[in-house]
Amino acid sequence: MPLVTVENLSLRYGANTVLRDVDMVIEPGEIVTIVGPNGSGKTSLLRAIIGAEKPSSGRVIRKPGLKLGYVPQKLHIDPTLPISVERFMRLTHPVTRKDCVAALKRAGAPDLMKRQMSQLSGGQFQRVLLARALIDRPDLLLLDEATQGLDQPGSAAFYRQIEEVRQETGCAILMVSHELHVVMSASDRVICLNGHVCCAGSPAVVASAPEYRALFGTGTGGALALYRHDHDHAHDQCDTTREAAE
C-alpha cells in the first residue's frame, strides 16, 4: 500500500480554487519533488496531505499508522524570546533527551542542543527544524522550501543531508523546491504543479515536457544538464562539474 494516495483532490479558499483534481501517490522510500510557480498550490497540497487543510472534494488516504514529519516553509521565532534548541525540540510534545540528541545528529547538527534559537544561522535553524521533524522517526518527511534563504553551498549541503536521512532511515520524502538543479540530482520523481498536475515523472522526463517548459522556459537547461546523472562520463569529471556548480 502507498504511504499516501491523493485522489481527485480539489481545494478552495472561499471562492478561490487553488487545487483542481490532483491525483498522486507516494510510495515508501521515494524522494518526490513538487515544482511549480508561486501561488500554484504547492504549500496547500502539502497541508492537505498532512491534514491541515480540508479538501473541498476528493480525498487524501494515509496508510494506517503513518508517521509524518513536516518542515514548514517559514517559522518565525521572536528574537527576544529566550528559547534553547533543546526546549524548542520539546515544545509540542515530551521527548527524551536521547531522542533529541539522536535527531539533531541525524539532521547534521549534533552540537546545537544548548544553543539559543535566536543565535542560529539560517542553515543551522533549518537543520533544527529538520531534527524536530525527524524526532518521531517519520515514514514520510515533508519539506516545504526548506532551503529558502540559504546560499547555494548551504542548500546543496542541506539536500545531501536529506539524502543521508533517507539512506539511514528509509523514510520517503516529499519536498517543494524552486531549485531545479537540486530537483534533478536528488529526486526519484518530480510533479509539476500549477493548480493541477501539469506533468509528472522522472526528473529528465519532466524537464523535457512541453507543459514544464511552458511554465519554466528552457533557460535552466544548462544547469539541469549539469546535474542530470547519465553516467556517460567519468566520475572525476562529474565531481568537478558538481563542485563548480555548487
Ligand X SMILES: Nc1ncnc2c1ncn2[C@@H]1O[C@H](COP(=O)(O)OP(=O)(O)OP(=O)(O)O)[C@@H](O)[C@H]1O
Residues within the interface to ligand X (CB under 6 A): 13, 16, 18, 36, 38-44
For the chain, how many residues are written? 246
Using DSSP's 3-state secondary structure scheme, residue 174 falls into: strand
Cell 494506517 sits on residue: 64
Closest approach, Cβ 202 to ligand X, in A, equals 22
As a whole number of angstroms, the distance between CA 103 and CA 132 comes to 7
As a whole number of angstroms, the distance between CA 177 and CA 179 comes to 5
Closest approach, Cβ 36 to ligand X, in A, equals 5
Cell 472534494 sits on residue: 57
Q: Are strands 68-71 and 140-144 parallel, antiparallel or unpaired?
A: parallel
As a whole number of angstroms, the distance between CA 158 and CA 144 comes to 13
Q: How is residue 150 written as a grid cell?
A: 540559504
Closest approach, Cβ 74 to ligand X, in A, equals 9
Closest approach, Cβ 43 to ligand X, in A, equals 3
User: What are phi and psi for residue 68, nearest 5 degrees?
Assistant: -110, 145
Of 20, 17, 34, nearest in space to 212 by CA: 34
Closest approach, Cβ 19 to ligand X, in A, equals 8
Residue closer to ligand X by CB (options 73, 96) is 73
Residue closer to ligand X by CB (options 36, 69) is 36
Closest approach, Cβ 89 to ligand X, in A, equals 26
As a whole number of angstroms, the distance between CA 52 and CA 6 comes to 14
Please report, for residues 1, 12, 22, 26, the alpha-carbon distance to residue 61 in angstroms, rounded to integers and kept in the order given.
Answer: 10, 19, 13, 11
Between helix 152-169 and helix 97-106 the angle, nearest 10°, is 120
Closest approach, Cβ 241 to ligand X, in A, equals 28
Residue closer to ligand X by CB (options 42, 189) is 42
Residue closer to ligand X by CB (options 100, 126) is 126
